[in-house]
Amino acid sequence: MPQRPTTLASRSALRLGFVMTLVLVLFTASTLAQLNPGRVQGTVKLEDGTPLGNVVLHFEPVATSSRAPRDVKVKKKGKFFVPIFPGGTYTLTMKGDEYYVKHFKYSAKEPSGRTMNEYDTAGHPEKGVEGVRIMGGARMFFEVTAGTAKEKRAAIQAVAMGEVGDELKQISELFSARNFDAVIAETTKVLEKKPELGPAYYLKGVALFYKNQHAEAKPVLDKALELVPDQEGIQGVYGSVMLELAKKDAELARDAKAKKEFSIAADAFAKELEADPTNLAILTNRIVALNGAGRTDDLKPALEALIAADPNNVTAYFQLASYYQKKGDTAAALEALGKLPEGDKSAAPAMYNIAVSRYNEKDYATAKLALEKALSMDPGFSQAYYLLGYVCLGSGEQPAAIEALKKFVEVAPDSPKAAETKDLVQRLEAAQKK
């Protein structure tokens, strides 16, 4: 069969296609040779071995390199794979603030499987892992262990503290000696060298607090909280500073500002109590702050926590009873006062006042209960016997009324009310005989 002739145009098109294919092949080959790529794959996990996905690894070429930075997205199951990765030396970090490269394990192998290079190193919390070499023609296997933001902050502080360890030791000694002026001066010097050193801000803030320089202490402690939020005792000190600022503003009638500061103080004390739940000073200060902030709904659990930690704190029982009274729950108020330590007479007047309130409202049952509790605390409380007599009269319990009024005369024979009470008792007894 004869060969089909081709036109001049078709022959030209064939030649053009061959030339373009050749150029493409030559371009690809030259580009790959220039990039000298390797194949990169690996995993990202947390310290406990949990795979970490949906994060981005950032490869920054060394300053002398002409390579462009590269980001590698890690898949959901903590794995990544880049078939062609430009050869060169990079610094490896993780994008974002949530994680950092805590540890890095590296292995480079030839296609045959022979190991060409490997190393195992800790990552710097800020600089990442420097000197990560992508070798041309090699298969690179990475194992990245990620640290959390909290771990990163701690690691940064550890590095900084290691660089100024001697100075911090000296400052701690000054603090123990309560030389707060020197502490402030020395921490200021350290922070000029290491402006992100959280413990130095903390020590300076505490020293300012002890110097009663509360306005100056606040921004210093704000910075400390930003850098070392888990510093032992920091929430308690911060709460104390805010409490003093709130009291000052309340004195100056800056009510809205004071209320906000009281609330911030209460929240700081709550955080401190998570670590130290029986700290009596913090428990007490939180109640002061809650009262100042007008956060009455938080008062009850706060008072109960103080009573649990300090069962002999009479003031706390009174405050809890007052809380219930304001809520209109007299029974709960009486119950709170009834839990006062035995032998303590101080609650008797409070019980009496509750009884007066209930008597005026003709709530004789509650009034009687309050008076009986008051007398159990203070058997010589004459006014309680006097009121109990009238409470019993109001409820129709005449024999009990006579008994209570007689007891009043017995306990307080010199009272101005004693004579008239004797007459009343006589009339009541006479009425009983009829």
Taking only the tens of pLDDT, the chain with its 434 residues reads 444 444 444 444 444 444 444 344 434 443 443 456 889 999 999 999 999 999 999 999 987 777 889 999 999 999 999 999 998 899 999 999 899 999 999 999 988 889 988 989 999 998 999 999 998 889 999 999 999 998 888 887 877 777 788 888 899 899 999 999 999 999 999 999 889 899 999 999 999 999 999 999 999 999 999 999 989 999 999 999 999 999 999 999 999 999 999 999 999 999 999 999 999 999 999 999 999 999 999 999 999 999 999 998 877 887 888 888 888 888 888 888 778 776 668 778 888 988 898 899 888 888 888 898 889 889 999 999 999 999 999 999 999 999 999 999 999 999 999 999 999 999 998 888 77
3-state secondary structure (DSSP) of residue 178: coil
Domain boundaries, the chain: 36-148
- Give the integer Cα–Cα distance in Å for 144 and 122: 10
pLDDT of residue 342: 67
Query: Residue with structure tokens 């402690």?
Result: 221
pLDDT of residue 36: 67
Q: Any idea what the Cα angle at residue 148 is, between residues 62 and 159, rounded to 5°? A: 60
pLDDT of residue 403: 95
Contacting residues for 103 by C-beta, under 8 A, at least 6 apart: 120, 121, 122, 123, 144, 145
- Give the integer Cα–Cα distance in Å for 66 and 404: 101
pLDDT of residue 37: 87
The pTM of this model reads 0.64
pLDDT of residue 21: 46
For the domain covering 36-148, report its CATH number. 2.60.40.1120
* Stretch (H or E) spanning 141: strand 139-148
Residue 204 near residue 162 (C-beta atoms within 8 A): no
Number of H helices, E strands in the chain: 17, 9
